[in-house]
Amino acid sequence: MSKHTFKFTCPNCSAVLELDDIALELPPFYKTLCIFCYYPLILYPRENRAEFSIEERKKTAFLVHSSKSEEKTLLGWFRALMNLYGTATRVIEEDHRSVDWLQKSLDGIKSADFVLAFLTKRYQFMDEAGKIQGWKAPDKCYEEIAISFALNKDIYALVENEVDSGNVLKTRAWCYQFKKKSSPTTTPIEAEVEFFRVFSNYVRGIG
């Protein structure tokens, strides 16, 4: 076997990336992802060329999230990114039935293949002595996660740095952190790349 090293440019953020592989012969392509903007890519080693890997829709996720107006741009980016990974997302704001949010959440969770939580800072919480302990996401997010757990749904989560993930997610291996960029360019967050690797394998039914 011989070691092959490839340098290529991400077509989304223009970062120069490097991939090492040990193989008897070169495969026609690799599926990988950009470690800077998280876009899934297909690398063609013989041509030293990379292009977007747009997966066929394989799963539908109920998206647990903050409904703050200032989060709309971030949420839109995240939903578009999940599409590239073969996942359509449902949010209760798109359910226009005249029922309360709890019923919309319950129905959305039941009908989805799994649950995807994207938890951002909403408010700080304090202990009994009035000392600030950290940040919380919106209360309804934790309720939706608890419902998902009770319904035995798979739950994947990206949680903003310093935000309490809640008792349910603390027991899950599929919970990862991110932080917002102060001056976003291609991607508005810095996240653990492992989340995207694990999540991609889950959606594709690997592992």
Q: What is the mean pLDDT of residues 154-182?
A: 90
Q: What confidence score (pLDDT) does residue 2 get?
A: 62
Domain boundaries, the chain: 2-52, 59-203
pLDDT by residue (tens digit) across 91-148?
Answer: 999 999 999 999 999 999 999 999 999 999 988 877 777 677 789 999 999 999 999 9
Per-residue confidence band for 167, with pLDDT thresholds at 50, 70 and 90: confident
How many percent of the chain have pLDDT more than 90?
Answer: 59
Whether 185 shows a pLDDT value over 80: the answer reads no
Q: Which residues of 171-200 are buried (b: 16+ CB within 10 A; e: fewer)?
A: eeebbbbbeeeeeeebbebebeeebbebbb
Architecture of domain 59-203: 3-Layer(aba) Sandwich (3.40)
Number of other CB atoms surrounding residue 124 within 10 Å: 11
CA distance 87 to 113: 10
| HSE of 15, CA atoms in CB hemisphere, 13 A | 16
| Beta bridge partners of residue 33, listed in sequence order | 40
pTM over 0.75: yes
C-alpha pair distances (Å), 199 with each of 15, 83, 166, 171, 181 = 22, 12, 20, 17, 22
Q: What confidence score (pLDDT) does residue 79 get?
A: 94
List of E strands, the chain: 2-9, 16-23, 30-33, 40-44, 49-52, 59-65, 87-90, 114-119, 123-126, 132-136, 155-160, 175-180, 189-191
Q: Which residues of 78-94 are buried (b: 16+ CB within 10 A; e: fewer)?
A: bbebbebbbbebbebee
Amino acid at 78: F
Is 138 in a helix, a strand, or coil? coil
Per-residue confidence band for 89, with pLDDT thresholds at 50, 70 and 90: very high
Q: Which two tokens stand for residue 169?
A: 């997610």
Note whether 166 and 64 are within 8 A (CB): no
Amino acid at 115: V
Cβ-Cβ contacts under 8 Å for 181 (sequence gap 6 or more): 187, 188, 189, 190
Q: What is the mean pLDDT of residues 25-43?
A: 87
